[in-house]
Chains A and B, each alone.
Chain A
Amino acid sequence: MSDLGKRTLTSLLVGLGSITAYALWALRGSAPAGDDLRAWALAMLLWLGGSIALQILAQIAFHIALAVVFTAKMGEEEGKRLLSSAMTEDERERLLSWKAARVGQGLAGLGLVAALALLGLGAPPAAALHALLGGFALDALAEGVLILLYAERGASYG
């Protein structure tokens, strides 16, 4: 697997863990009531902040691990060059991200449609809020999976 694939997989696993943790908390009996939008909004904001912090920490840990592996395999000087190359965001990485984002954004849009449909059907506002959040969470996960897929299968501008 390429360095980009490993980095994306790290991010994907952290994201999955974070979403699972939130889902487990939200399904508990002590979670806020369905119409308490303020409490849900604060909980979601807290979760989003925590998830971003976790992603940053995971990426720092990943790059430290990569540096250690490269240095052990290739020596300090060559290891630094390899790490610098692995961290270069070039046109291929941007193409993979763009292609993945096209699909992911569709899923985020579906979240909005689901939220509106839920409200239309008389579901609690918190359910609609979660449909929106779920759409964005699916977007992030799908983008990660697609980047992995495109990185392995190949991609072109055509």
Chain B
Amino acid sequence: MVKPLRIRNQIRRLRFFAGEMTQLELAERAGVSRQTIIALEAEKYAPSLELAFRIAAAFGMEITEVFRADEGGIADEGARE
């Protein structure tokens, strides 16, 4: 059986290096609510491909510089309903 992937991200760190960009500012740039950015940073939500691209674009980066997928070792079983 294929193990589910856990999507990790660097959003919190990238916001810091982007002049401490606020969650609200990133949310507005990506077209989502601030709560979604909070959930993403806490890794309680894995974004769609489209949102992942939009967030990467907000930082002026490639998607793989912001997101990566870890195989196995799912720490958030509850997030995989």
- The distance from the CB of A83 to the nearest CB of chain B, in whole angstroms, is 10
With A82-B34, A86-B33, A92-B33 already in contact, the answer to whether A154 and B79 are too (CB < 8 A) is yes
B32 A91 Cβ-Cβ under 8 A: yes
B51: chain A residues at CB < 8 Å are 91
A3 B80 Cβ-Cβ under 8 A: no
A78: chain B residues at CB < 8 Å are 24
Contact of A3 among B24, B33, B42, B50 (CB under 8 A): B33
B32: chain A residues at CB < 8 Å are 88, 90-92
Interface size of A as a range: 20 to 34
- The distance from the CB of A79 to the nearest CB of chain B, in whole angstroms, is 11
B44: chain A residues at CB < 8 Å are 153-155
With A154-B79, A155-B45, A156-B80 already in contact, the answer to whether A90 and B28 are too (CB < 8 A) is no
With A156-B7, A156-B46 already in contact, the answer to whether A85 and B27 are too (CB < 8 A) is yes
A154 B4 Cβ-Cβ under 8 A: no
Contact of B39 among A82, A88, A92, A158 (CB under 8 A): A92
A154 to B77 CA separation, bound complex (whole angstroms): 9
Most buried by B among A90, A151, A153: A90
- The distance from the CB of A106 to the nearest CB of chain B, in whole angstroms, is 14
- The distance from the CB of A56 to the nearest CB of chain B, in whole angstroms, is 21
With A150-B81, A156-B80 already in contact, the answer to whether A85 and B34 are too (CB < 8 A) is yes
A151 to B78 CA separation, bound complex (whole angstroms): 11
A154 B45 Cβ-Cβ under 8 A: yes
Q: Could you name 18 residue pairs across A and B whose Cβ atoms are closer than 8 Å?
A: A2-B38, A2-B39, A3-B35, A82-B34, A85-B28, A85-B35, A86-B33, A86-B35, A88-B32, A88-B33, A90-B31, A91-B36, A92-B45, A153-B78, A154-B42, A154-B78, A157-B46, A158-B80
Chain A residues in the interface with B (C-beta under 8 A): 2-4, 78, 81-82, 85-93, 99, 150-151, 153-158
Further pairs besides A2-B39, A93-B36, A150-B81: 7, Cβ < 8 Å: A78-B24, A82-B34, A85-B24, A91-B32, A91-B48, A155-B81, A157-B46
